[in-house]
Chain A
Amino acid sequence: MTGTDWPLWEVFVRSRRGLSHTHAGSLHAPDAEMALRNARDLYTRRSEGVSIWVVPATAITASSPDEKDPFFEPAADKPYRHPTFYDIPEGVRHL
């Protein structure tokens, strides 16, 4: 088995407690354990993380890349979901 056959892992790092894991990059490794070790050496050499997730890239299901994708259309015509949609008289506080 050469490197080509090793699965691709996507790496997510939590930079500190209280924050979500964020995508940091990817790497190849033969198994999850090696993927974690390599991710530590590759993405947290300067204490950039307190927790790492590695996810097989093939396990990710993505929406289509097109930003005008009809997939996201249901959100486009619902401005009333945003607080700025509403007119509130001047002087009303804590709202």
Chain B
Amino acid sequence: MTTTAPETEVLAAVFDAAVAADERIEPRDWMPDAYRATLVRQIAQHAHSEIIGMQPEANWITRAPSLRRKAILMAKVQDEAGHGLYLYSAAETLGTGRDELLDKLHAGRQRYSSIFNYPTLTWADVGAIGWLVDGAAITNQVPLCRCSYGPYARAMVRICKEESFHQRQGYELLLTLSRGTEAQHAMAQDAVDRWWWPSLMMFGPPDDESAHSAQSMAWKIKRHSNDELRQRFVDICVPQAESLGLTLPDPDLRWNEARGHYDFGAIDWDEFHEVLRGNGPCNDQRIGQRRTAHENGAWVREAAAAHAAKHGKATA
């Protein structure tokens, strides 16, 4: 769309007023280029996280200890694929298609959440991921249901509804192990010990180092700061850990009466940046497996296209 400078000013004023009035921006509305680019980057990273996040858990599907647990885990992993698709669709309303985003993911030019670069070493990790990783995701995502961009907000509503099952099945799994044999209890504790700190990192760098935060808050893409959400998550988790009969691996964790929040220890941001830089335990494996899955699926896409062409039903 070509517009003259004064026209753009008017359009920008309309956009600003809509955001200020808490109205939603819809795909065909005028929006600042930087708003569009920020959303595409954030939604893409979010979508990539959903589908890469299928890998660490899918790792345990064939070894689930019972048919019940196996059916649950398959349903959860399938949900994550669905979440990826909702989000790629939301990105597409901004003019960037799924294929382009997948190419960028495969080329290592777009990121996904650093949490999925950690390995799932035991069955208890499936529980710790459900409780802590999905739990942190929910804490991040609930405010996104009110994000200023309509299609993203609507995708988040659908995702949040489905996430609560993810978190509860993980919690129930950990509780079963925690109340089981000594070895099972130890396995649950070990999983929580390994996933706790990376889960806190999921909220992103501290507020004073967060590059995009202020602008995203002004655009109402983000509603709360990284540190605010991280604190909310810690406060929720402490009593939940007590009910599990498990401890959180932080000697500095204690209730602060004056703040009305739990104080917690320093996060190892060097580790976070190393994992982001590609040096986590599983970065290469995750991207490698994603590329292989995409290549191995090529014949299915080709067959579906050939079938559609033969039967002449590709009407659109």
Contacts and interface: CB of A to CB of B under 8 A. Distances in A.
A30 B307 contact: yes
A27 B85 CA distance: 8
B89 A30 contact: no
Contacts of B109: none
A12 interface: no
A56 B316 contact: yes
Contacts of A25: 86, 89, 154-155, 158
B17 to A, nearest CB: 11
Interface stretch (B65-73, B91-99, B203-211, B243-251): B91-99
Contacts, number: 71
Contact of B98 (A3, A7, A33, A58): A3
A8 B78 contact: no
**A4, A6, A28, A31 — most chain B CB neighbours (10 Å):** A31
Contact of B26 (A26, A31, A65): A65
Contact of B304 (A8, A30, A32, A66): A30
B304 A56 contact: no
Contact of A56 (B89, B100, B315): B315
A2 B79 CA distance: 24
A26 B316 contact: no
Contacts of A31: 304, 307-308, 311, 313-315
Interface string A52-71: 00001111001011100000
A34 B82 contact: no
A27 to B, nearest CB: 7
Nearest to B27: A65
A62 B28 contact: yes
Contacts of A59: 316
A45 interface: yes
A7 B97 CA distance: 12
A62 B89 CA distance: 19
Contact of B97 (A1, A4, A27, A41): A4
Interface of B: 26-29, 75, 78-79, 82, 85-86, 89, 92, 97-100, 154-155, 158, 162, 301-302, 304-305, 307-309, 311, 313-316
11 contacts: A1-B309, A2-B99, A6-B314, A25-B89, A27-B89, A28-B98, A34-B308, A45-B78, A45-B82, A46-B162, A65-B28
